[in-house]
Structure 1
């Protein structure tokens, strides 16, 4: 059997492309050597945003597209994507007040159709925003959105699979060769997949994969590590802060399970596997927030951290922080086509996917019309999370209220699917370490491609953040018994 498309890479770009292609009726196979979102796509700053700082690089097209996608994501994934208010204290030594005000005005103008509040200046009435800070700042308030990045990636794959795509995790791409008008690819499990076209969306491994099929890319990647830390809570409330640094970079401080997330860094690296935070990055992030917040932190206060490698298109910029975050699609169509994906960001993955299918359409002979712009992601058929949680609590009153709220935010309307047939607490199975029920764990295995304890604890949920090593081991023991074949 010859498929229409083989997608290499199970990050946000690969999963979005597989979804777009499946919705267009193409036969799709996606291969990922690890878990979905196991690398950069689960190591972001967890934001759906236009990229305020990209205006300094004159990336107006990217910011406009990202702001449009932000509005779209709020509509199609209301269980995962939520508005987030940002407080921007103004440090006059970094950028003049008028420059920041003008940048925010332009940000609002480019997002003219946004449902979120427009930016404004900090007011005397904003005492709650000022309280955690060392001093009273002039500054600004503006809006963006937050997201569970790994769940967003997984749900793109879930929707792709629901529309006929085959999702193969723990299955690596080894090599491929042209055979007439199609490709014959060899996978790590020995299987061979035939496809009319290949999309390489392998992040930092894109160059390696394209070279392995005899199609070395014309463009080059710049690998930039972005690291984050979580420290005990720096402030109360659901808002976040964006603080300017003397080196002109900006750092976010965002509420996160277990405390406050601080990020990110921009460190050039040579190896896509070099996704481990350095001591210098940890110190930098601590110093970044210590300049502004009353509660001071040290590296010893860090309760968790993560790093991801951004595989950016090399546009010749000098500093890593200045490299474009826009994506570039490189099409080789002198025969069975190959499309290489360079760069991109979580916010614009859907738009990237639409663009990718438009590029492939002439070579494959199909109509690449828009199919995902208004299509709700799995679980998104809700008005608001709070209403869903209340309805679930009324229908299943024996469930723990905190668990209902967490699951409503994770699964949206799919929570009702998970609970189908449940009439008592016994039907949920026993409570596993970390507070998850057996029923939820099996749901993740059966419907979301989870194959290891880490898939469940670190990516499908964030329960692992609050678990001890003994609890994780106990959960792993249960998983090994429940799914020995995995």
Structure 2
């Protein structure tokens, strides 16, 4: 008998979504990730949960409707991570006319199954807060509703839910060989030790490593996919309104400028083909200049490449459709025979449809072994057990219980942990009760939680994926965090060695990386 029903290689959004869905259906699941959860393209998305206006313009109405339905699902199951926000498209004299924008957004609203969010409207921004940051003579904007999401937190909490349902999550573990017969036999390097596990089915969800994994690890025919790089820039805050600007560009692209961690603005995306090492994706200077130029067509502020404080880039494999690969589609395939164990391949796709994509992929295994019904659309992620329109109420409750927090701190913490925040703050009465401080907001209590419960092993895992506080911490504060994490991980490893090593599926992995 095999050790697991499904082994998944890759801990990005596709991989953890597969793990969550399968574990919740009663399958024995193991996920193997060579680095950190969401460490590549899944932490470099557009951060949008939306119906895709570009697809609407291509008249892909069913696609838009399905994406809008998923937007509603995310609002229901992850109200702390997925936040409704107004999007504003300023009318530019050389782009789509306002009447066309209004007509498209009228249809966009009606394609949504539930009109939970405010409808589209036309605004005179001459004396409106939305217009304060815009150049003149832009005087009209069309406003509509969609959502933004913390993509890297979404990956981690999806993995956490999978673990709490019995999945084994192995970060810092690299699968080096997979032999296929009636079952899969996998060799992996985990915590510096070579281990062999067996599984009845295998999923290749390695993103930009899909081809190399198929060729060198699985030794199976590679799927027909292409690598695509997506990049964005982070700059100091350019506007004060809580809204996302959607800028039309002469080449047909839509550029989004959205609030980012209170004091910054995220601008993107630009996409093109990619060749090279997926672990070292760098944003070309030409792409930085392109996004600055696109923003300067609309914003009063003169944005220059020197103003960029961080670039965000990731590469993934996907099928390219349309003229010059304008549409980037997901790959979901299942191959099996009477003598060969099933092989799932899943890569590409956007954040919005990740849950549904995994649901459909796991369902392809139903001919091979029984499992329970689809379930993920109605089960909240950890910390998301409250109504999406009660987010502000939860913040008020947090401020009432932990009165030493500022509103900005409470908003960040609720947005990251939702109702699980009590596991971090506990009965703390003051900041001193939270232990050592690493900058104004990051505390020892939060770091310990992230290491114990959310697989954080290195400072980068905390600073750029579990939080985005790396944008504001000084080098000295980062060094203090690194020292603390190394000491805490060493103590934990020692205590576990004394207790004996267990292989509990939901355990957090120690800070002993095996590289890769």
TM-score (norm 2): 0.89
Q: Which residue number in structure 2 is paired with residue 265 of structure 1?
A: 270
The reply on whether 1:50 has 2:55 as its aligned counterpart is no
TM-score (norm 1): 0.94
Q: Which residue number in structure 2 is paired with residue 438 of structure 1?
A: 444
Q: Which residue number in structure 2 is paired with residue 140 of structure 1?
A: 142
Residue 157 of structure 1 deviates from its aligned partner by 0.3
1:390-409 equivalences in 2 (<5 Å)? 390-409=396-415
| Residues 357, 368 of structure 1: 8 Å contact kept | no
Identify which of 324, 332, 336 aligns with 1:329. 332
**Aligned with 1:70: secondary structure?**
helix
The reply on whether 1:4 has 2:27 as its aligned counterpart is no
User: In the aligned structure 2, how far is the partner of 1:10 from the partner of 1:387?
Assistant: 33
| Residues 31, 172 of structure 1: 8 Å contact kept | yes
Q: Which residue number in structure 2 is paired with residue 278 of structure 1?
A: 284
Residue 98 of structure 1 deviates from its aligned partner by 4.2
Note the residue ranges of structure 1 that are not aligned, 5 or more in a row: none
User: In the aligned structure 2, how far is the partner of 1:60 from the partner of 1:47?
Assistant: 19
User: In the aligned structure 1, how far is the partner of 2:186 from the partner of 2:230?
Assistant: 32
Deviations 1:29-63 (A, max 9, x none): 00111100100111112111111112233433332
**Aligned with 2:30: secondary structure?**
strand
Residue 213 of structure 1 deviates from its aligned partner by 1.4
CA RMSD of aligned residues (A): 1.9
Deviations 1:408-461 (A, max 9, x none): 221000001223344554431122235311111101111111111111111001
User: In the aligned structure 2, how far is the partner of 1:107 from the partner of 1:185?
Assistant: 46
Residue 399 of structure 1 deviates from its aligned partner by 4.1
Residue 406 of structure 1 deviates from its aligned partner by 1.8
Deviations 1:181-210 (A, max 9, x none): 210011133211200001111111112222
User: In the aligned structure 2, how far is the partner of 1:124 from the partner of 1:341?
Assistant: 44
**Aligned with 1:347: secondary structure?**
coil
User: In the aligned structure 2, how far is the partner of 1:424 from the partner of 1:98?
Assistant: 55
**Aligned with 2:247: secondary structure?**
strand
Identify which of 359, 375, 382 aligns with 1:378. 382
User: In the aligned structure 2, how far is the partner of 1:426 from the partner of 1:15?
Assistant: 36
| Residues 333, 361 of structure 2: 8 Å contact kept | no
Residue 223 of structure 1 deviates from its aligned partner by 1.6
| Residues 392, 416 of structure 1: 8 Å contact kept | no
Residue 163 of structure 1 deviates from its aligned partner by 0.5
| Residues 433, 474 of structure 1: 8 Å contact kept | no
Q: Which residue number in structure 2 is paired with residue 239 of structure 1?
A: 243
Residue 401 of structure 1 deviates from its aligned partner by 4.6
Identify which of 306, 313, 316 aligns with 1:310. 316
The reply on whether 1:119 has 2:120 as its aligned counterpart is yes
1:232–1:399 CA distance, 2 compared to 1 (3 A): closer
Q: Which residue number in structure 2 is paired with residue 151 of structure 1?
A: 153
Q: Which residue number in structure 2 is paired with residue 221 of structure 1?
A: 225
User: In the aligned structure 1, how far is the partner of 2:336 from the partner of 2:59?
Assistant: 31
Q: Which residue number in structure 2 is paired with residue 300 of structure 1?
A: 306
| Residues 227, 263 of structure 1: 8 Å contact kept | yes
1:126–1:348 CA distance, 2 compared to 1 (3 A): farther
Q: Which residue number in structure 2 is paired with residue 193 of structure 1?
A: 197
| Residues 225, 269 of structure 1: 8 Å contact kept | yes
1:84–1:440 CA distance, 2 compared to 1 (3 A): same
Residue 97 of structure 1 deviates from its aligned partner by 4.1
Q: Which residue number in structure 2 is paired with residue 353 of structure 1?
A: 358
1:278–1:29 CA distance, 2 compared to 1 (3 A): same
User: In the aligned structure 2, how far is the partner of 1:401 from the partner of 1:255?
Assistant: 17
1:126–1:173 CA distance, 2 compared to 1 (3 A): farther
**Aligned with 1:266: secondary structure?**
strand
| Residues 434, 466 of structure 1: 8 Å contact kept | no
Q: Which moved more, 1:397-406 or 1:80-89?
A: 397-406
Q: Which moved more, 1:42-51 or 1:387-396?
A: 387-396
**Aligned with 2:349: secondary structure?**
coil
Matched positions, count = 480
Q: Which residue number in structure 1 is paired with residue 508 of structure 2?
A: none
User: In the aligned structure 2, how far is the partner of 1:227 from the partner of 1:414?
Assistant: 32
User: In the aligned structure 1, how far is the partner of 2:124 from the partner of 2:442?
Assistant: 43
1:356–1:20 CA distance, 2 compared to 1 (3 A): same
